[in-house]
Structure 1
Amino acid sequence: MSSVIWFVSFLFGALILTYQRVSLLAASLIFGAVLLLYTLSGTGSPAWTIALWAMLVSMMLLNIDSVRIRFISRPFLRTYRRMLPSMSQTEKDALEAGTVWWDGELFTGGPDWEKLLSAAAPRLSAEEQAFLHGPCEDLCRMIDDWDITHNRADLPPSVWDYIKRKGFFAMIIPKKYGGLEFSAYAHSCVLTKLASRSGVVASTIAVPNSLGPAELLLHYGTQAQRDHYLPRLARGDEVPCFALTGPRAGSDAGAIPDTGIVCKGSYQGRETIGIRLNFTKRYITLAPIASVIGLAFRLSDPDRLLGERIDYGITCALVPRDTPGITIGRRHFPLNSPFQNGPLQGKDVFVPLDFIIGGMEMAGQGWRMLVEQLSVGRCISLPSSATGAAKAAVFASGAYARLRRQFNMPVGKFEGVAEVLARMCGHTYIMDAARSVTTGAIDGGEKPSVPAAMLKYHLTEYGRRVANDAMDIHGGKGICLGPRNYLGRSYQLVPVAITVEGANILTRSLIIFGQGAIRCHPFVLREMNAARDKDKRRGVKEFDAALFGHIGFTISNAVRSLIMALTLARFSRVPPIGPTQRFYQHINRFSASFAFATDVAMLTLGGYLKKKESLSARLGDVLSRMYLASMVLKHYENEGRHEEDLPLVEWSCRTLLYEAQEQLHMFLRNFPNRPLAALMRFFIFPRGQTYHAPADRLAHVLAEQVLRPTATRDRLTAGIYRTIEPGNPLGMLQDALERADGAEPLEKRVRVEGVKTGRVTALELPDQIRQALAAGILSEIEAATLQDHDRRVMEIVRVDDFATMEIAVQPRAEDTAMNSASPAGNTPTHQNEAASQA
């Protein structure tokens, strides 16, 4: 019996030490002390005792650096160098871009929650709030999205003038240059509000404030370049675009065929050494109206006019539009959302060397410049626009599902519709949490490159799901375009966000995990750098330290994964913060399982993992779900822990963690080494897949919160353009929703006391109201209230219709004649008078 006790003691002691990540030296000393007691007790067999002492000796030898390096690290380093995948300079620059933030904690298997929870909540300054409530609100009021997208295919001159005059293009430019110098969070809030009103306007304003000339000048430009361009960009005297994408290479900077050759030439009448540019670009937003072009090209000096170097590599320059040789092509037409976008070309365009952003010192640094700033822009522009559109869709769909009736009840009361509404709410809450918390981190000094890729991919994908769900709820109202349709253009614009700044397929399968596994892992990058170190002695010592740290890390995560999976993470240490505590514990559990699976995959597949894109994508999905769940929990804390928002938090976290579980399961199912997959499954799912998606009851709770004007609905959709005023469909929906509580009991009385008793026989509500008034079922005031509400609801559900000549781009003569000859009673009419007058 005593032997069994000792065995269990050794086993549990080893598990506890491994779980707690005790150092090898400390573990050796503790093991030695226990082994001495065991030996003195005399209860074990001699063979077993000798084996344990041999194990202790081995452990002690591993604590001696010279022994470890000679017999393990140096031989393995030779093998590791052969396994190490090749890395291009563009890949290296991408890996070194930005900073590691919360994404790095999720790779540890034991996130430090205090690091996240202690981060300051994002806040708007008084000046930023005034801008959102003033110029931003006024701009939304000026926007007629149907006029922009259908009649003009452009913003009207008054809107262009207002955007430039009020500094919408200057949010990232410092005040000393005439800009607004907004925080990343304020920048995001502006785009969120604008996107809730018009995707075209939001896209137009996003580009100059994202990756482009102003951003690059701020970080890399010479002082002369900043002094010249930034005030002009802030005032709107210059309209910028940035030309990277080409017809052959797409956005792959490493394959850019556009060239810049150093040579002698004439610029503005003077001979100088400059660059002769030849390029072809497309998909360039603002190119048709840009006055200054940011350009990426490959610079070379074949005649060695600048020195011995010939190939400089990717370089960025600013070129005025009117430079001879530049041709601005006709406009692209992105899915009926005609923001200014088009191709441009340059043939033998000669510019001075000082047109290079940052001057000759930054020649060849273009790709590094782009990826360093893209990590911030990706966190703001597309995620904010997607979030604004999703908030507007939830706001509209909740009201519409309450006001639109079928079978004598609001459609939102049907379980199928409630399920869709809940999904829309949950996805939008996740989007808003990720957007706000991550931009807050940027304002705190972080440049989170891996989270930028996560937000770009997942928030635009969630935006697509929300848009699809909103269309399902609205039915015919959503698919018939016209001035009354507040969903159609946003729905059409969704694939644009999916495509730009790195297509989503590429982002998911290559970037999120591919960059994160090396950048965020506590040991992988150290091992790679040590293996490539030209100082062999220093390299092997650094590799040894990283290797054995990595081995201990992997073993610890295997044990942590096993124990937390067996106990459902109930004993995992997290901040004691009430009803959300279990979600913190579950993230800890999946963090350990993810870190363990990542290490096994990288160790066994090596560089081959780079080619197994589906496996990499699934690991990236697990990382992303943990990150997004963490953002949800932090957002809930930032907003003040409103108890009525807990259903949103629960739905979001349960959905995300369930999806993380399923992606881990699919990773194991498809892992090529089946015995190793079985071993990993033992440590990750010893009890099977125990995590469940949200219950149906939760969907009903969430649906109820947006079917009525609740505080939760207001917080979920905060920051959109919802002012109750003529011309704002969201305001009209809100107004009708607020009146519904008073009107619905009256409508029910008409139905119960009138229709069911036979006292009211009319089929349509207006006639029913008149009969109910005559029968004394309603008073005059009640009848007037119900009639007014019905009028407002019918105004909302109404859709537009057109004569053929009104919607044809180029009406045929016979169509025009046919419409002119139609009898007055049969002529299709346009139902929106304001649009007809426009």
Structure 2
Amino acid sequence: MYAAIMFALLAFFLVALYRGARLITLTALVAAAFMVTWLAGPLGTVGAVIGALVLVPLAALLNVSALRRQVLTAPLFRAFRAVLPAMSDTEREALEAGDTWWEAELFRGRPDWSQLLDTPYVALTEDEQRFLDEDTDALCAMLDEWQIHFEDKDLPPEVWAFIRERGFFGMLIHKEHGGLGFSAQAQSMVVSKIATRSVTAAVTVMVPNSLGPGELLQHYGTAEQQAYWLPRLARGEETPCFALTGPEVGSDAGAIPDTGVVCRRQVDGESVLGIELTFDKRYITLAPVATVIGLAFRLLDPDGLLGDGTTTDYGITCALVPGDAEGLEIGRRHYPGGAFMNGPLRGRNVFVPLDAIIGGPAMAGAGWRMLVECLSAGRGISLPALATATGKGLYGATGAYTAIRRQFNVSIGWFEGVQEAMGRIGGLTYTLEASRTLTATALDQCSPGVITALLKYHSTEMMRQVVTDAMDIHGGRGVIMGPRNYLAIPWQLLPVAITVEGANIMTRSLMIFGQGAIRCHPYVYPEMEATRDNNLERFDRLFWAHAGYTVNRGVRAWGLALTGARLARAPVTGPLKGYYRDVERLSAALSFCSDVAMSTLGGSLKLRESTSARLGDILSQLYLATAVLKYYETYGRDSDDHLPHARWALDHALSRAGEALDAFCRNYPKPLVGRLLAWVVLPFGQPWKRPADALNGQVSELMMRPNAVSEALRGHIYVGDRATDPTGQLLETFEQLQTVGPAYERLLKAVSRGRITGADLDAQLEAAVSEEIIGPADADAIRAYDALRREAILTDDFDAEYVRDPLAFRRDGAGAGARHAG
């Protein structure tokens, strides 16, 4: 009887820990176990007295807040304050910038699924849909990426004019200022569609709508600045750029060496209070053609002209500089492997009035926070849109090419080696579209800095994998440059996406977990603030709540690991419900491991970049997995075609998260702690496996025929004229194959088996009709298809003079039609 009661109490205690019961409840359970042990006799009187002398003071010490605060918390508080690293203003502003959203639920170990599943995707308005279908398609029809990239190395003048006139530079500017006032979802879809036609045009459009003067003015500008500049930007009367990066300042933007000194100058006979700027910027998109420059610099006021005699260094500030300002060097170009406008900006003693500061003099020194907040929003729209466009385009093109292209008399998409790469293209594209859609929805509600950082990194890395796999599959078809090649330019421009808006190595190593751990954690940042405010009472409440939180997450992680996540709750039924449980298990493991890492490594954690990066990888993959789960619930539940894509994406994300968790434990800087963590979160090893060969086969087979996923993705890309556009020609050939496929297969089998012979296709078709293997109509259809097929697999060759000087070749009258031949 005693054993049964004690077992029940132990079970209740573990359940209470698992469910996060309050300290008083846990104390009561311990007291009950003590009383049962005493009354049942094992302790005896002496044992009971000793136990009481130990447990009663301990219970009082933990539960009586005033006593606990003085005896336990005060020494901890002093120690915490002594080791708490100093935080600069720029670090504080970066941490406080933006919001948290769904990623906070994933970080905290008990995700509230309703927050994800009950949030509807942002739908396009009628104006947004019309702009996407009409204006964006009209722009795409004007674009010839080969001419832009290889011949002119610039957009044609009529394209620049169209972009300006139709408001592409003003998508984010509110309608009250003459802009389009589009949602983040609409901006993302417009940029994504343009990118399926021309990366150059997409970059040109996306930069003014991400980090740029327009967004900064809209959020922080004075009424006068907004009234003057925003309508001009929206109408395309001004071409903007933003100058942040310099020769020795990339990821460490807080160390900007460019300066602006407050001074007085004579302007048109009047003494004007302003700023004398000296700067040297690099890698600035649209700089060569900009008419107005948003400039980040360090503002200095050595003579106290701003009225604050105690401040000489105001810190990073943002101001507007006219493109024709005296002392500004502008117009030279970089060539970053692509034709979009990018170049340096230099300024020596460039003078602007004080009201050129974005937001006016009151915003002097507020530039870093402005940049962090606006960069996070733009980072979540522009590059994920570009990466998703690449995935969508190559999903369709690779699926069509592998069905059309044959080796050993078999479509190459049936080879398992090819299917492995195709599985990645299909599954990663599904992930890209799911995460792009979810993140754009988040950006229309808030400014989630952690999400945008992780999506920038992972979307561009997924794009890198998709392009690499597509290149491997296409072989020479992807290597030989020319108008037919839809792969080479994205391949060439990959480093741009990997590098800009936070280099990927830095983003993964420092930003995702570094910012996420503090912003998403319910206690860490408030504890830091309580310590800096020297508030012992607040620190006491937070610290002990944090301790209970850590114990709860550890017990949850252990319980879920021991039971294979069967204790977790799935909010849906159906084939994917097990993945919800696995996400909750990994979420609990992430939460517990993060707390242990922060408590045992302290401030040195941010120097342990591989350790923190692996925790960031877990958080990132959980976000991607849940984006897929929501996308499937919204669009895929009634479609058999979605399920293999979703399963592939989820298997890939969870296996990557599991591998990161395993590597975190194995490589933990304190080996004993690492082994303990592994025992808690991975007691039976890493259980999540990468997508199976059979799943690769299912995805690749779907890609080689029209399916619900490809139809949905195709609705978001631009397909050009089928008579002249290589992608249009390829897809027309693919569609024809669906019609002639059965007859074509009968013909090829008859030839391979020697049933019919013939020196060429016409002879083989004649023999096949004679043998009644196919009918005359089939023969005509196969003949027409084979002509399309040959065009679809050809590469370009050129006149040698054209390669040497394409503009001169065109100018001499050969014309665009003679520049290449199939």
**Normalised TM-score (structure 2):** 0.96
- Structure-2 separation of matches of 1:220 and 1:426: 40
**Match of residue 591, structure 1, among 587, 592, 611:** 587
> Which has the larger displacement, 624-633 or 568-577?
568-577
How far off is 1:52 after superposition?
A: 5.7
Query: Which residue identity is paired with 1:459?
Result: S
- Are 1:379 and 1:439, in contact at CA under 8 Å, matched by a contact in 2? yes
- Are 1:93 and 1:368, in contact at CA under 8 Å, matched by a contact in 2? yes
- The question of 1:575 aligning with 2:571 is answered yes
Match of residue 391 from structure 1: 392
The superposition leaves residues 481-532 of structure 1 with CA deviations (integer Å, 9 ceiling, x where unpaired) of 1011111111111110000011000000000001111111111001110110
Q: How does 1:718-737 map to 2 (within 5 A)?
A: 718-722=715-719, 725-737=722-734
Query: Which residue identity is paired with 1:505?
Result: I
How far off is 1:705 after superposition?
A: 1.1
Q: 1:603–1:355: structure 2 CA closer, same or farther, 3 Å change rule?
A: same
Match of residue 412 from structure 1: 413
- Structure-1 separation of matches of 2:250 and 2:613: 21
- The question of 1:200 aligning with 2:200 is answered yes
How far off is 1:834 after superposition?
A: 6.9
How far off is 1:779 after superposition?
A: 3.3
Q: How does 1:370-449 map to 2 (within 5 A)?
A: 370-443=371-444, 445-449=445-449
- Structure-2 separation of matches of 1:46 and 1:576: 54
**Match of residue 621, structure 2, among 619, 625, 629:** 625
- Are 2:258 and 2:298, in contact at CA under 8 Å, matched by a contact in 1? yes
Identical aligned residues as a percent: 47
Match of residue 323 from structure 2: 321
How far off is 1:223 after superposition?
A: 0.7
Match of residue 331 from structure 1: 333
Q: 1:689–1:752: structure 2 CA closer, same or farther, 3 Å change rule?
A: closer
**Match of residue 648, structure 1, among 621, 645, 656:** 645
Match of residue 775 from structure 2: 779
* Partner SS for 1:631: helix
Aligned residues between the structures: 814
- Structure-2 separation of matches of 1:327 and 1:259: 16
How far off is 1:678 after superposition?
A: 1.4
- Are 1:267 and 1:350, in contact at CA under 8 Å, matched by a contact in 2? no
- Structure-2 separation of matches of 1:180 and 1:672: 52
How far off is 1:263 after superposition?
A: 0.7
- Structure-2 separation of matches of 1:278 and 1:654: 52
- Are 1:755 and 1:761, in contact at CA under 8 Å, matched by a contact in 2? no
How far off is 1:777 after superposition?
A: 4.2
The superposition leaves residues 15-73 of structure 1 with CA deviations (integer Å, 9 ceiling, x where unpaired) of 11110000112222344345445544446555765576433552343111111111111
- The question of 1:833 aligning with 2:817 is answered yes
Query: Which residue identity is paired with 2:729?
Result: M
- Structure-2 separation of matches of 1:770 and 1:84: 85
- Structure-2 separation of matches of 1:231 and 1:742: 52
Match of residue 759 from structure 1: 756
Q: How does 1:211-226 map to 2 (within 5 A)?
A: 211-226=211-226
- Structure-2 separation of matches of 1:47 and 1:221: 76
> Which has the larger displacement, 743-752 or 680-689?
743-752
Q: 1:56–1:571: structure 2 CA closer, same or farther, 3 Å change rule?
A: farther
> Which has the larger displacement, 705-714 or 572-581?
572-581
- Structure-2 separation of matches of 1:30 and 1:719: 59
- Structure-1 separation of matches of 2:473 and 2:754: 33
The superposition leaves residues 640-681 of structure 1 with CA deviations (integer Å, 9 ceiling, x where unpaired) of 523421111111111111111111111111112111111111
Match of residue 657 from structure 1: 654
- Structure-2 separation of matches of 1:790 and 1:560: 61
**Match of residue 714, structure 1, among 699, 711, 714:** 711
Query: Which residue identity is paired with 2:503?
Result: A
Match of residue 557 from structure 1: 553
* Partner SS for 1:350: strand
**5+ residue gaps in structure 2?**
none
* Partner SS for 2:576: helix
Match of residue 689 from structure 1: 686
The superposition leaves residues 163-209 of structure 1 with CA deviations (integer Å, 9 ceiling, x where unpaired) of 11111111001111111100000000001111111111100100000
The superposition leaves residues 618-658 of structure 1 with CA deviations (integer Å, 9 ceiling, x where unpaired) of 11101111111111111112225234211111111111111
How far off is 1:311 after superposition?
A: 1.1
- Structure-2 separation of matches of 1:98 and 1:394: 34
Match of residue 701 from structure 2: 704
Query: Which residue identity is paired with 1:218?
Result: Q
Match of residue 111 from structure 1: 111
- Are 2:316 and 2:366, in contact at CA under 8 Å, matched by a contact in 1? yes
- The question of 1:168 aligning with 2:168 is answered yes
* Partner SS for 2:260: strand
- Structure-2 separation of matches of 1:834 and 1:33: 92
How far off is 1:281 after superposition?
A: 0.5
- Are 1:97 and 1:449, in contact at CA under 8 Å, matched by a contact in 2? yes
- Structure-1 separation of matches of 2:155 and 2:449: 33
- Are 2:277 and 2:351, in contact at CA under 8 Å, matched by a contact in 1? yes
The superposition leaves residues 537-565 of structure 1 with CA deviations (integer Å, 9 ceiling, x where unpaired) of xx111111111111111111111111100
Match of residue 364 from structure 2: 363
- Are 1:107 and 1:522, in contact at CA under 8 Å, matched by a contact in 2? no
- Structure-2 separation of matches of 1:835 and 1:516: 52
- Structure-2 separation of matches of 1:729 and 1:797: 10
The superposition leaves residues 535-593 of structure 1 with CA deviations (integer Å, 9 ceiling, x where unpaired) of x3xx1111111111111111111111111001011121231332221111101101111
Match of residue 827 from structure 1: none
- Are 2:13 and 2:29, in contact at CA under 8 Å, matched by a contact in 1? no
- Structure-2 separation of matches of 1:113 and 1:296: 41
Query: Which residue identity is paired with 2:327?
Result: G
Query: Which residue identity is paired with 1:769?
Result: L
**Match of residue 796, structure 1, among 755, 778, 792:** 792
Q: How does 1:462-481 map to 2 (within 5 A)?
A: 462-481=462-481
**Normalised TM-score (structure 1):** 0.94
How far off is 1:738 after superposition?
A: 1.6
Match of residue 500 from structure 2: 500
Q: 1:513–1:711: structure 2 CA closer, same or farther, 3 Å change rule?
A: same
How far off is 1:241 after superposition?
A: 0.3
Match of residue 528 from structure 2: 528
Q: 1:634–1:48: structure 2 CA closer, same or farther, 3 Å change rule?
A: farther
- Structure-1 separation of matches of 2:105 and 2:83: 27
> Which has the larger displacement, 249-258 or 795-804?
249-258
Q: 1:486–1:832: structure 2 CA closer, same or farther, 3 Å change rule?
A: farther
Match of residue 32 from structure 1: 31
**5+ residue gaps in structure 1?**
821-829
- Structure-2 separation of matches of 1:378 and 1:758: 60
- Structure-2 separation of matches of 1:643 and 1:779: 35
- Are 2:274 and 2:353, in contact at CA under 8 Å, matched by a contact in 1? yes
> Which has the larger displacement, 747-756 or 246-255?
747-756
> Which has the larger displacement, 242-251 or 771-780?
771-780
Query: Which residue identity is paired with 1:632?
Result: V
Q: 1:723–1:339: structure 2 CA closer, same or farther, 3 Å change rule?
A: closer
- Structure-1 separation of matches of 2:366 and 2:542: 30
> Which has the larger displacement, 636-645 or 681-690?
636-645
How far off is 1:754 after superposition?
A: 4.6
- Structure-2 separation of matches of 1:456 and 1:505: 11
How far off is 1:130 after superposition?
A: 0.8
Q: 1:831–1:562: structure 2 CA closer, same or farther, 3 Å change rule?
A: farther
- Are 2:756 and 2:764, in contact at CA under 8 Å, matched by a contact in 1? no
The superposition leaves residues 317-374 of structure 1 with CA deviations (integer Å, 9 ceiling, x where unpaired) of 0111111110114211111x11000001111111100111010000100001000111
Query: Which residue identity is paired with 2:234?
Result: A
> Which has the larger displacement, 73-82 or 455-464?
73-82
- Structure-2 separation of matches of 1:833 and 1:791: 20
Match of residue 348 from structure 1: 349
* Partner SS for 1:578: coil
* Partner SS for 2:319: strand
Q: 1:329–1:289: structure 2 CA closer, same or farther, 3 Å change rule?
A: closer
* Partner SS for 2:797: coil
- Structure-1 separation of matches of 2:48 and 2:729: 82
Q: 1:766–1:423: structure 2 CA closer, same or farther, 3 Å change rule?
A: farther
**Match of residue 614, structure 1, among 593, 607, 610:** 610
The superposition leaves residues 389-409 of structure 1 with CA deviations (integer Å, 9 ceiling, x where unpaired) of 111011100000000011111
* Partner SS for 2:219: helix
Query: Which residue identity is paired with 2:741?
Result: E
